[in-house]
Every structure is written in C-alpha cells, then in structure tokens.
C-alpha cells in the first residue's frame, strides 16, 4: 500500500503556540466594530466634557471628546460637528448600546438630537484560527503577487485587500 503523501497537509498543527482545532468556524472572534453617526446638531465640546464624567478633551492633540463606556466597553469620539464615531465594541449590539448611552447624556445636556440617528457600520475586525501552519509564500504566489501585500521582512502576514474587505493571515494560520 502506497503512503498518502498529502496526509501531513491535512493534519492540524500541534505546535505549542497553536490551538488544535478541526472547526475553524468556532474560533472566529469579533475584535472590534467601528460605527459612525451624526446627531444633527453642533456641539460645544467644552460643555460636553462637563456632562460626560471621565471624558477626555485636549483640542491640541485631538479635535474631539473621547468618552469611554464600561458596559459595554466602547469609546465614543464626539466631534463639535455633531458627528460621533464609536469604536472598541465587540458586536453591533454593543455599538447600539454604547451610542444610546451617548445620545441619552447629550439629551440630558439639552441637545436636540434627531429621533433615530442613523448608525453606519464602518468596519468590523475579526480573527480566526485555522488550526494549521500556512505557507505564506505559496499563498502570495497562488493568489498572484499583484493581488496581495506580502513583505515578510516588514510585516509577517499575507494581505488580500479588496474593495469592501481585506484578509490578513499569519504563518500560524491566524486570520
């Protein structure tokens, strides 16, 4: 009987830094959700920091107020134009909860906010473990060098940027 030469390619990697998983879907984890909204009113950021306990505002360093919520753990970047960016959320529900807290505080301050501000998801960052070692050189060549970003000396990942999404993977099969 001839040995299967491809068997090692189908065996999950069991190195000390890898999780041995045969179901990569179970390892998918949302790391960050970024969303933006606009309340339809200008804001006095000096007044905002008096109402938002623990908020940070240093206009020489950053043109907006940074307000962090703890449950859920998010950060709202509040700008004088009335635009708000929510970052650090682990789900879209967390974005909605975090921004609702911001809207409520702004209403307490006397700011008139449009009834239901449109919340637009700008970016979702997720990670996954494929449970195998990847040959990044082969992936870069297989996808076509003109279609990938691969500079192993500078950045140990292969990147596949696309118009609406991108994927970066490391040799340890982390996406």
Question: With the CA atoms of 101, 104, 110 and 111 taken in that order, what torsion angle do they form, in degrees rounded to the nearest 10?
Answer: 70
Mapped onto helix, strand or coil, the DSSP state of residue 141 is helix
Residue ranges covered by each domain of the chain: 7-27+128-170, 31-125
pLDDT of 7: 45
Question: With the CA atoms of 79, 108, 49 and 115 taken in that order, what torsion angle do they form, in degrees rounded to the nearest 10?
Answer: -10
Structural fold of domain 31-125: TATA-Binding Protein (3.30.310)
| Sequence-ordered list of residues with C-beta below 8 angstroms from that of 150, at least 6 positions apart, any chain | 136, 137, 140, 157, 158, 159
pLDDT of 23: 65
User: Whole-angstrom Cα distance, residue 140 to residue 161?
Assistant: 12
Please give the chain's pLDDT, 175 residues, in tens: 555 443 444 444 444 444 444 466 677 889 999 999 999 999 999 999 999 999 999 999 999 999 999 999 999 999 999 999 999 999 999 999 999 999 999 999 999 998 889 999 999 998 888 777 777 778 777 777 777 777 777 776 666 666 667 777 776 656 5
Structural tokens at position 51: 């109402």
User: Whole-angstrom Cα distance, residue 32 to residue 81?
Assistant: 25
pLDDT of 81: 97
Question: With the CA atoms of 92, 94, 97 and 99 taken in that order, what torsion angle do they form, in degrees rounded to the nearest 10?
Answer: -70
Per-position DSSP letters for 69-123, written without gaps between them: EETTEEEEEEETTSEEEEEEESSHHHHHHHHHHHHHHHHHTT----SS---EEEE
Structural tokens at position 153: 């000396």
pLDDT of 19: 45
State if pTM tops 0.85.
no
C-alpha dist (Å) from residue 60 to 49, 57, 65, 83, 111 = 15, 9, 12, 19, 25
């Amino acid at each position: 009987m001839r040995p299967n030469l491809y068997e090692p390619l189908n065996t999950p990697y069991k190195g000390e830094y890898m999780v041995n998983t045969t179901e990569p879907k179970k390892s998918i984890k949302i790391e960050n959700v970024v969303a933006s909204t606009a309340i339809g009113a200008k804001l006095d950021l000096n007044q905002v920091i008096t109402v938002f306990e623990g908020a940070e505002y240093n206009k020489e360093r950053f043109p907006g107020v940074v307000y962090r919520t703890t449950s859920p753990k998010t950060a709202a970047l509040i700008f004088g134009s009335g635009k708000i960016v929510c970052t650090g959320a682990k789900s879209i529900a967390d974005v909605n909860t975090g921004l609702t807290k911001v809207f409520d505080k702004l209403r307490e301050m006397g700011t008139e906010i449009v009834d239901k501000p449109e919340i637009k998801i700008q970016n979702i960052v997720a990670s996954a473990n494929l449970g195998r070692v990847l040959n990044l050189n082969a992936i870069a060549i297989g996808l076509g060098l003109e279609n990938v970003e691969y500079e192993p000396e500078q950045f140990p990942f292969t990147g596949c940027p696309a118009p609406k999404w991108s994927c970066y993977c490391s040799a340890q099969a982390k996406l």
